[in-house]
Structure 1
Amino acid sequence: MSVPGPYQAAAGPSSAPTAPPSYEETVAVNNYYPTPPAPMPGPTTGLMTGPDGKGMNPPSYYTQPVPVPNANAIAVQTVYLQQPVSFFDHPVQMCCPSCNKMIVTQLSYNAGALTWLSCGSLCLLGCIAGCCFIPFCVDALQDVDHYCPNCKALLGTYKRL
């Protein structure tokens, strides 16, 4: 009596190793057209006998050609990744997301929180005669909006406070 060791194959219905499928079988390369039916053995008169014993014509197979992909035509799609833009109080060169052109942003100054706090603190210090409105004339105390010079789209805002 022989006991199979760990290195021996156990006896079974199929002890022969089978090879894995080839690459062509896996991805079905060159399967663009259906395979024609195999010829039937018998007389080569062109007539086949039907179930009732009478002759009949062989069926005609119509195949529609499937377009073969062109190996030279490769679809290339270019993707541009735009880095996040940090807006400050100076113009920025960037690609406008609205019109897709390289631009240098136009700046617009608006009164923000720092402007109003400066005005309020000047009022508390006694500058009531109109000097408290000076922060509204100083660009360094106002918020900055960045616009595209081509399409006038708002691209970003820099808030001072």
Structure 2
Amino acid sequence: MSAPGLYQAAAGPSSAPSAPPTYEETVAINNYFPTPPAPMPGPTTGLVTGPDGKGMNPPGYYTQPMPVPNTNPITVQTVYVQQPVSFFDRPVQMCCPSCNKMIVTQLSYNAGALTWLSCGSLCLLGCIAGCCFIPFCVDALQDVDHYCPNCKALLGTYKRL
């Protein structure tokens, strides 16, 4: 009725208390590993007779598959993340997105909105005799284009107005 080694309550006040079960009995250590079935006499069909007398397949044993070595070589691609570049009226050192070289930009000055407004202002002030064209000669009043010296690609423009 009761299995040996299990803790039972005392039947009466005069009986001596029994020891509690051991850790192995409580947790049932080593009971989770399958044990090979004992050979049974009978036909060798690969079936094992179960407790109810019917045939059943023997328990399967599982092994962890070995990893297959990868025969493909690993290719590493280096990616450089470049922060957005702010273009002003000075040369900028950067990596050219067109030719992927480290460069210092070349500057080109073009007449922009500030140049034309300065010219118009000088005309209104009475500088009609050619002095109104002075803003077209002053780089500080013109827009700036940044070019790559290697591939001549336009990298950006700084507009003064």
TM-score, normalising length from structure 2? 0.57
Alpha-carbon distance change, 58 to 34 in structure 1, aligned in 2, over 3 angstroms:
closer
Q: How many angstroms apart in 2 are the aligned matches of 1:158 and 1:14?
A: 103
Identity %: 91
Deviations 1:108-139 (A, max 9, x none): 00000000000000000000000000000000
| 1:10 CA displacement | 28
| 1:79 CA displacement | 1.2
User: Does the 8 Å CA contact 2:115/2:142 hold for their aligned counterparts?
Assistant: yes
Alpha-carbon distance change, 6 to 49 in structure 1, aligned in 2, over 3 angstroms:
closer
User: Does the 8 Å CA contact 1:32/1:68 hold for their aligned counterparts?
Assistant: no
81-90 or 53-62: which moved more? 53-62
Q: How many angstroms apart in 2 are the aligned matches of 1:125 and 1:38?
A: 116
Deviations 1:80-121 (A, max 9, x none): 101000000000000000000000000000000000000000
CA RMSD of aligned residues (A): 11.1
1:32-111 to 2 correspondence within 5 Å? 68-70=68-70, 73-111=73-111
| 1:48 CA displacement | 22
3-state secondary structure, aligned to 1:78: coil
Largest Rg, 1 or 2: 2
| 1:77 CA displacement | 2.2
User: Does the 8 Å CA contact 2:10/2:17 hold for their aligned counterparts?
Assistant: no
3-state secondary structure, aligned to 1:118: helix
List alignment gaps of at least 5 residues for structure 2.
none
Alpha-carbon distance change, 2 to 36 in structure 1, aligned in 2, over 3 angstroms:
closer
Number of residues of Structure 1 aligned to a counterpart in Structure 2: 161
16-25 or 140-149: which moved more? 16-25
Q: How many angstroms apart in 2 are the aligned matches of 1:47 and 1:39?
A: 11
Q: Which runs of 4+ in 1 moved over 6 A?
A: 1-67
Alpha-carbon distance change, 58 to 143 in structure 1, aligned in 2, over 3 angstroms:
same
94-103 or 16-25: which moved more? 16-25
24-33 or 76-85: which moved more? 24-33
Deviations 1:6-38 (A, max 9, x none): 999999999999999999999999999999999
Q: How many angstroms apart in 1 are the aligned matches of 2:2 and 2:62?
A: 60
User: Does the 8 Å CA contact 1:93/1:104 hold for their aligned counterparts?
Assistant: yes
Q: How many angstroms apart in 1 are the aligned matches of 2:141 and 2:47?
A: 99
